[in-house]
Amino acid sequence: MLDPEDQRALMHERAVEQAYANTGFHRIDVDINSLSDFADALRQELTENLYPAWQKINNLLISDGPQFGNSPSLDLGAKRTTYYTYLQETKEFLRNVINGVAQFAQSADEIGHRYQRADQFSRITVTDVTNVLPDVRGAANPTPDSGV
């Protein structure tokens, strides 16, 4: 047998499910605390690792990288162009990763803020639910003393 607190929680959960079923709303199950923790972890990763690494990497990628020989007989013009293109693509990729992590953190925060109080049935009672349920006694609407 369930203790009274578990019974209350189970009745609450059933009432919430019934309320959603009858209203046509879709339930959103979001663990707000986990989202907040996730956003915090991402911001910590950004400040402690990604931004400092970016400063070092970005400074290295600003230059043209190692200089190849200048002798015309080496014919390295195309190689230099390819190398420079790869440097720029690497820089853009790393910048996008960092921006993506920042956007994940911002999105997690935004979802948490928007849905923190979004469960409109979180404090609903069984009486609240039965008050909004349609009358299932039929069109004749029998009186309480008619046995129905």
Residues across the chain: 148
Residues 125-143: tens digit of each pLDDT: 667 666 766 665 554 444 4
- Angle formed by the axes of helices 32-45 and 77-115, nearest 10°: 150
- Eight-state DSSP code of residue 127: H
pTM of the model: 0.54
**What are 99's two structure tokens?**
């921006």
User: Quick one: three-class SS letters along 79-122?
Assistant: HHHHHHHHHHHHHHHHHHHHHHHHHHHHHHHHHHHHHCCCCCCC
- What Å distances lie between residue 102 and 67, 90, 99, CA to CA? 34, 18, 5
If you average pLDDT over every residue of the chain, what do you get?
76
